[in-house]
Amino acid sequence: MKIALVSPYDFAYPGGVVSHISSLGRQLERLGHTVKILAPAATPNSLGLDNLIAIGRPVPIPSGGSIARLSLSVWLEHRVKTILDQERFDVIHLHEPLAPVLPLTVLCFSNAANVGTFHAFHGSGLQYLLSRRLIDRWFQKLDARIAVSEPARRYVSKSFPGEYHIIPNGIDVDLFSEQVPPFDAFNDGKLNILFVGRLEKRKGLKYLLCAFGRLKWQYPNLRLIVAGPGNPGKECYRIMSERALQDVVFVGGVSGDAVRRYYHTAQIFCTPATGKESFGIVLGEAMAAGKPIVASNIEGFRGVMTDGQEGFLVTPKNEEALALALERLILDPALRLKMGQQGKRTVQKYRWDGVAAQIVQCYEEALASHRATPAREEAVGA
């Protein structure tokens, strides 16, 4: 099959959807399919991707407690139509298919079998409710629909009911489980707690800093490593200053290879996100690396791990509960090992070969549905 993977987000900026599309594309190519990625990209030439077709220049837009880097250009139609005419895709797989502007534009002019994957989980679904009347006609052009988790399915189906396949995000288990050397600078006998994620409020870093502050005085051999792009913000700086926190290291945005080394440098992984997470790719990566986890007890995370098995789930925004869970792992190396080993078993169900097989089956169903309803396009446009 010739497949287009469409992203609404800047492909030059790290994020869960971008990572998902990149990994899915590689897996589909291993299966013998031809893949092109259509996405906005601020610096397309720096990515070194032969199959990336950059469309539109992204701008930062506040969205769901985060910053989404989308292209809002209304002048994409001609370029999109030209690309679709030239490439003649069998399947167009749109990620966040109702997001502005690129996915909606592609969906509008697509004559291929259309598959949409819904990643978001932002609570009330008000965004979809407000735009439903405007974009329902394009939603009807989707031949198959995927949600990455049950929370993501519920979120979108409030406004756009229908049949959805639940297919989780994939994890490159072999890549993250491969033994790579820890960073020498942090391999000095201290116990390393690792945070990986964009430095946004909803990722909950300030609560981890507060918990770390509670623990550091009693356990001076601790270190907190923070890996991810962005600015910690005034609250985080205030907490570190007021508590005179030592051994908090911000390493910034890091490459995929470096992230793997940070997982293997740490003894404990912690993600204290406050909500609006539909899955939690970092949980899968940490499990593949064999690390015990302390995470917020939020819906998207509960679908990936079980409290007391791969780690501990704690009340969101509760620094005391976070500190107590971390302390249990700090004090018990055997428990860390046990939970890490359980994580390695759990993550097997998110292997990319299995996830990609489910997605390809969706493509085949979409193609069959599309071929069976040749008059649908005219009906939608009427």
pLDDT at site 88: 97
Amino acid symbol at 312 = F
Report d(CA 339, CA 312) in Å as an integer: 9
The alpha carbon of 122 is separated from its chain's Cα centroid by a whole number of angstroms, namely 14
Per DSSP, what are the bridge partners of residue 114?
A: 92
Dump pLDDT digits (tens) for 13-41. Answer: 878 899 999 999 999 999 999 999 999 99
Q: Does domain 173-350 have CATH number 2.40.30.10?
A: no
* Peptide linkage before 101 cis (omega within 30 of 0): yes
Greater pLDDT, 44 or 332: 332
Structural tokens at position 56: 């539109």
The answer to whether the 2-170+351-381 and 173-350 domains have the same CATH topology is yes
Domain ranges of the chain: 2-170+351-381, 173-350
More confident residue, 364 or 372: 364
Average pLDDT, the chain: 91
Q: What is the pLDDT of residue 195?
A: 98
* Choice among 35-39, 130-134, 264-268 with the minimum mean pLDDT: 130-134
The SS3 assignment for 266 reads coil
Q: 40-71 b/e with 16+ CB inside 10 Å = b?
A: bbbebeebebeebbbbbebeeeebeebebbbb
The per-residue pLDDT for range 155-171, each reduced to its tens digit, is 899 889 999 999 999 99
Among 118, 109, 105, 87, smallest CA distance to 39 is for 105
Which alpha helices (H) appear in 116-242, and where do they start and end?
Answer: 126-139, 150-157, 173-177, 205-216, 234-242
CATH number of 2-170+351-381: 3.40.50.460, 1.10.10.10, 3.90.220.20, 3.40.50.2000?
A: 3.40.50.2000
Please, which pLDDT band fits residue 63 given cuts at 50, 70 and 90? Answer: low
Q: Which of 31, 10, 32, 86 is nearest to 21 (CA)?
A: 10
Q: 152: left (phi > 0), else alpha (psi -120 to 50), else beta?
A: alpha
